[in-house]
Structure formats: structure tokens, C-alpha cells
Amino acid sequence: MAVKTITITEEAYKVLREKKGMDESFSRTILRVVGERPLDEFVGILSKGGAERLEKAIRGAKKQYAEEYQKRIIRLATELGERHGSS
């Protein structure tokens, strides 16, 4: 892999170091940070109809997840009860 040496100010280095994860290289940090976009860039990106469809899809996914979660809880409780009763 080719590398380049760059010069940055002490202030820029401190900011970058604060954003850097413990097991993350400075190169990976730069790539991650450069890809960040402030949330205000997304304001108005969806039409009202698009936003409503997205919200409906999220609600549906949450409901489905909650239903599947309850089924798993019931199944696990049943299995644990059967194991406990047969001991």
C-alpha cells in the first residue's frame, strides 16, 4: 500500500486524535470523518409522502420485531419450564 506524508497544524492533529478510536489508524479515522455529514444537510431530502412511507415502514418493522420478540420469550419460557419440570 502506498503512503503519503501530510503536514497538519497542531490544532488539526488534536481534533483528529480526539476522533480516533483506540484501535483505529489515523488513515481510517480520516476516511471515516471525511464521510460524515451534518444532519442539517438531510433536511428536506424526502418529500412529505416519502417521509410518511418511511415512517410507516419503520413502525411496521418495530411492530414485527416486537411480535417476534414476544414469540421468542414465550418459546424460551416454555422450553425452560419443560426442562425444569423434567429434572
* Span 19-40, pLDDT tens digits: 999 999 999 999 999 988 888 8
Query: What is the C-alpha separation between 21 and 40, in angstroms, rounded?
Result: 25
Does the pLDDT at position 86 exceed 80?
no
Of 55, 58, 6, which is closest to residue 27 (Cα–Cα)?
6
Instruction: Name the residue type at position 12.
Output: A
Q: From residue 72, how far is each of 8, 18, 64, 67, 85 by CA, in Å?
A: 53, 41, 12, 9, 20
pLDDT in tens, 45-75: 899 999 999 999 999 999 999 999 999 999 9
Between residues 77 and 85, the one the model is more confident about: 77
